[in-house]
Structure 1
Amino acid sequence: MSKELRQHIEEIIPLTDKDFSYILSHFTEKKLKKHQYLIQIGDKVAHTYWVSNGLLKATYTDEKEKEHIIQFAMENWWITDYQAYFTQTKAILNVDCLEATELLCLSYENREKLCKELHKMEHFFRRKANNGFIALQKRMLSFMTNSSETRYDLLLKQYPTLFQRVSKSIIAAYLGVSRETLSRFNK
């Protein structure tokens, strides 16, 4: 797990062995089973999570009890309820495992400590956040400007393995279409 995390961080910043050993000391490991919740609505969110192995989804349930998929997280991705994590408040999202999952957990306090003590980690997290903002903006614009079939094609092109790992119902929910509509896109 640690080798993969180091490679992930070094995609953005160089690390010495000493740097990485210090960084890793701020993480804890967590393993969850398929269908197990990592975060549930109302939980205090103390950690952000880096996915070493597995697949998760973050969902929001509206006042009509409709579940909206906000994000997936697979290997080398980060996930949490960001609003709750950064404001140290209660979760408004559920995050659950679509597969058995192995995670490295970083508390808010340890993240802040790493950023203060190792400015290269502050740079790393800023770049990760910027990339997340860009991805979110692209997804929002895609919902506003593309047909559901175009959104399907873009998702398939960008994350082809996702389609082998989750049900068509989950893909349909992520795209905001019915399962029947999704069936028409399968070529």
Structure 2
Amino acid sequence: MSQAFRQHLEKLITLTDVEFDYVWSKFSTKKLKKHQFLVQEGSEVLHDYWVAKGLLKAYHTNEEGKIHILQFAMEDWWISDYQSLVYRCAATINIDCIEDCELLVISAENRELLCNELKGMANFFRKKSHAGYVALQQRILFLLNKNPQERYNRFLELNPKLLQRLPKTLLAAYIGVSRETLSRLSHP
């Protein structure tokens, strides 16, 4: 797992062996089973998570019981309830496992420590935050301005590897359509 994580980091920054060993020392590992929660709404979130193996979803369930999926996270992606992590408030979303997962875990304090001590890690997390913000903005604009077929096509374009791993009900919830509508979209 450490080699895969180093490769992930070095897509954006360069670390010496000593620096990487120090970074690695600030992380721990966590294994979860399919359907197990990583974060539950109302809980305190103290960690950020890098997915080494598996697939998770971040979502909110409204008062009528409808699920609104904000994000999927597969290998090489980061996930957390960032509002809770940053502002130290109760989680507003749930995150659970679609598949068995292996995660690297870093506390908010250790993340801040790495950013203060290693310029490269500050740059890494800044770039990841910016990319995440851009992706979220694009997702919101697509939900607001594109029809279901365009949203489905965009998902396929951006996430071809996810299509075979996701139950159709979750994909439908992500693009904001019913399961029946999704069937029509995928078989025009």
In the alignment, what sits opposite 2:10?
10
- Deviations 1:65-122, CA, capped at 9 Å, x for gaps: 3211010000000000000011122111100000000000000000010001111111
| TM-score normalised to structure 1 length | 0.98
Matches within 5 A, 1:100-111: 100-111=100-111
* Number of equivalenced pairs: 187
For 1:155 and 1:90, the matched residues in 2 are separated by 30
For 2:159 and 2:113, the matched residues in 1 are separated by 34
| 1:72 counterpart SS class | strand
| 1:109 counterpart SS class | helix
In the alignment, what sits opposite 2:131?
131
For 2:80 and 2:136, the matched residues in 1 are separated by 15
In the alignment, what sits opposite 1:118?
118
Instruction: Quote how far apart the aligned CAs of 1:165 are.
Output: 0.4
In the alignment, what sits opposite 2:32?
32
Extract unaligned runs of 5+ from structure 2: none
For 2:143 and 2:71, the matched residues in 1 are separated by 14
Instruction: Quote how far apart the aligned CAs of 1:63 are.
Output: 2.7
In the alignment, what sits opposite 2:71?
71
For 1:79 and 1:103, the matched residues in 2 are separated by 10
In the alignment, what sits opposite 1:159?
159
Opposite residue 54 of structure 2, the aligned amino acid is G
Opposite residue 33 of structure 2, the aligned amino acid is K
- Deviations 1:26-71, CA, capped at 9 Å, x for gaps: 0000000000000111111010000000000001122333211010
For 2:61 and 2:170, the matched residues in 1 are separated by 14
For 1:119 and 1:90, the matched residues in 2 are separated by 30
Provide the identity percentage: 52
For 1:165 and 1:63, the matched residues in 2 are separated by 28
Opposite residue 3 of structure 2, the aligned amino acid is K
| TM-score normalised to structure 2 length | 0.97
In the alignment, what sits opposite 2:140?
140
| 2:90 counterpart SS class | coil
| 1:163 counterpart SS class | coil
In the alignment, what sits opposite 2:80?
80
Extract unaligned runs of 5+ from structure 1: none
For 1:57 and 1:17, the matched residues in 2 are separated by 33
C-alpha RMSD over aligned residues: 0.8
For 2:151 and 2:67, the matched residues in 1 are separated by 19
Opposite residue 53 of structure 1, the aligned amino acid is K
Opposite residue 39 of structure 1, the aligned amino acid is V
Opposite residue 131 of structure 2, the aligned amino acid is N
Opposite residue 169 of structure 1, the aligned amino acid is T
For 2:92 and 2:66, the matched residues in 1 are separated by 14
